[in-house]
Amino acid sequence: MKHRDLSEADPEVHKALKNEIERQESESLEMIASENFVPKQVLQAQGSVLTNKYAEGYPGNRYYAGCEHHDRVENLARERACEIFDADHANVQPHSGSQANFAAYFSQLEAGDKILGPVLSHGGHLTHGHGVNFSGDLFNFETYGINDETERFEKEDVMEAAKEHNPDLIVCGYSAYPREIDFEMFRDVADEVGSLLMCDIAHISGLVAAGEHPNPFPQCDIVTTTTHKSIRGARGGMILCKEEFADDVDSAVFPYSQGGPLMHQIAGKAVCLKEAQKSEFKDYAEQIKKNTKALAEGLREEGLKMVSGGTDNHLVLVDLRDEEVSGKEAEEALEEADIVVNKNAVPYDPKPPMVTSGIRIGAPALTTRGMEEEELSEIGEMIGKIVKNPEDEGLKSEIQERVSELLDDFPLYEDSDVEI
Ligand SMILES: Cc1ncc(COP(=O)(O)O)c(C=O)c1O
């Protein structure tokens, strides 16, 4: 086999990768709440020779020989995950957050069983029961919604829905909910109706790991997460659970729903979990929350409304129902000014999902770049100005220039960090 440099072996892919490094480094402010930038050590682990091996099974019990070093890596990831989240057991093999949810549901339920999850436009994810997704297709999903007045999930509403539907499992944990999750409240409801309780901490796992959001254990029975959002690691998923669910969780991942694990990704997960145990990560997570509050302040300054009036975590959900722009138009106008956010439904959104009346904005990625409250509050104001004046080309150019300065002032990678 001939080894060649990628630039020589495949100039087209090489060029696309170079362009993407450039885009991430210096072309826009990345404010999609589910995205982040991983450190070099995670990139190194992901790009490693662990990709060469089949390791079906679990450490010490593989279907293939030669897994000694893979066992070591997977055990490190599992041990670190259990320590961080105070879980009895961790399965680090799910290829994604969706795969983690698939396996978590099937570890305890059969097709047709009843699950109570959030109304999707109130912050849930497709895997929480949407009809276009396996979850809505295979399970009998019923929903609880956000409270009309507080725009938060309140006990009375969740309890009412649980008593009405008598679910086998309740799901909490969201994609677009700006407030802390009250695990004790959900446990009380689950106990009242004799249901299992699962939390999907895909978005907030970095905050939880750092103690900046309450931990879902011991109240929850099973916890799923992605490993690439606020926890800033390799793209993938993970399931954490109490001991009594461990065997069922493991067999629901492999052999029920996946084949060979992506061991290079598992190495990336192990590395990010080690990072998450450091005091710098605690500072990072604390700063994410301060930055998101500063962002909300800037938006408020420009007269924008936010769902629930603000934020306790890493994101805000701007409610555009009183504005002239839709979520789609706001997203496009902001992109023209090099600020990247996503359109997002707000509770009781009158507009269709591809248009929406909201934008979701998150601070994890800019916090990774080193920005602090001063920058985030200024960016909040810039976003507010564009949302109020989406056609103002002069304003967009002015903001583009300021964005470019900010990107220069807060560099992301050195060339040697992302050498390809
Ligand atoms: C709450 C939640 N769960 C699950 C997922 C799915 O993760 P993935 O895209 O890795 O399948 C997401 C992704 O955005 C999410 O926000």
What is the model's pLDDT at position 420?
87
Beta bridge partners of 342: 360
Residue 248: how many CB atoms within 10 A of its CB? 16
Distance of CA 397 to the CA centre of its chain: 31
Residue 129: how many CB atoms within 10 A of its CB? 23
Q: Structure tokens of 90?
A: 């961790």
For ligand 1, the distance from its centroid to the CA atom of residue 127, given in whole angstroms, is 8
**pTM to 2 decimals?**
0.97
Is any atom of ligand 1 closer than 6 Å to the C-beta of 98?
yes
pLDDT tens for the chain, 420 residues: list them: 999 999 999 999 999 999 999 999 999 999 999 999 999 999 999 999 999 999 999 999 999 999 999 999 999 999 999 999 999 999 999 999 999 999 999 999 999 999 999 998 899 999 999 999 999 999 999 999 999 999 999 999 999 999 999 999 999 999 999 999 999 999 999 999 999 999 999 999 999 999 999 999 999 999 999 999 999 999 999 999 999 999 999 999 999 999 999 999 999 999 999 999 999 999 999 999 999 999 999 999 999 999 999 999 999 999 999 999 999 999 999 999 999 999 999 999 999 999 999 999 999 999 999 999 999 999 999 999 999 999 999 999 999 999 999 999 999 999 999 988
Q: Structure tokens of 194?
A: 């004799």
Residue-by-residue DSSP string for 115-183: EEEE-GGGT--GGGT-TTSHHHHHSEEEEE---TTT-S--HHHHHHHHHHH--SEEEE--SS--S---H
Secondary structure class of 242 (helix, strand, coil): coil
Q: Smallest Cα–Cα separation from 96: which of 262, 218, 246, 244? A: 262
> Can you identify the CATH homologous superfamily of domain 284-411?
Aspartate Aminotransferase, domain 1 (3.90.1150.10)
Beta bridge partners of 170: 116, 197
Contact between residue 299 and residue 110 where contact means Cβ atoms under 8 Å apart: no
Cα dihedral 124, 126, 129, 135, rounded to 10, equals -140
For ligand 1, the distance from its centroid to the CA atom of residue 36, given in whole angstroms, is 14
Q: Smallest Cα–Cα separation from 226: which of 238, 215, 214, 210? A: 238
Contact between residue 322 and residue 306 where contact means Cβ atoms under 8 Å apart: no
CA-CA distances (angstroms) from residue 261 to 65, 75, 290, 379?
Answer: 15, 13, 37, 40
Secondary structure class of 222 (helix, strand, coil): strand
Dihedral sign computed on CA atoms, order 221, 226, 232, 233: positive
Q: Structure tokens of 257?
A: 């729903």
Q: Smallest Cα–Cα separation from 361: which of 389, 336, 382, 392? A: 382
> Which residue has the CA at smallest separation from atom 3 of ligand 1?
202
For ligand 1, the distance from its centroid to the CA atom of residue 240, given in whole angstroms, is 16
Contact between residue 339 and residue 399 where contact means Cβ atoms under 8 Å apart: yes
Q: Which fold has domain 44-276?
A: Aspartate Aminotransferase; domain 2 (3.40.640)
CA-CA distances (angstroms) from residue 262 to 40, 51, 73, 268?
Answer: 19, 7, 12, 10
| Mutation test residue for ligand 1: of 125, 204, 223, 342, the one with most atoms within 8 Å of CB | 125
For ligand 1, the distance from its centroid to the CA atom of residue 313, given in whole angstroms, is 17
Is any atom of ligand 1 closer than 6 Å to the C-beta of 375?
no
What is the model's pLDDT at position 1?
92
Query: What does the alpha-carbon distance between residue 76 and residue 135 come to, in Å, rounded to a whole number?
Result: 31
Does the annotation mark 71 as catalytic? Answer: no
Q: Which residues contact 20 (CB under 8 A, 6 or more apart)?
A: none
**Half-sphere exposure at residue 143, Cβ-oriented, CA atoms within 13 angstroms:** 19
Considering the candidates 62, 235, 360, 385, report the single residue annotated as catalytic: 235
Domain-wise residue ranges, the chain: 44-276, 284-411
Is any atom of ligand 1 closer than 6 Å to the C-beta of 118?
no
Query: What does the alpha-carbon distance between residue 131 and residue 31 come to, in Å, rounded to a whole number?
Result: 28
Closest ligand 1 atom, residue 237 Cα? 10
Query: What does the alpha-carbon distance between residue 295 and residue 109 come to, in Å, rounded to a whole number?
Result: 41
What is the model's pLDDT at position 234?
97
Is any atom of ligand 1 closer than 6 Å to the C-beta of 96?
yes
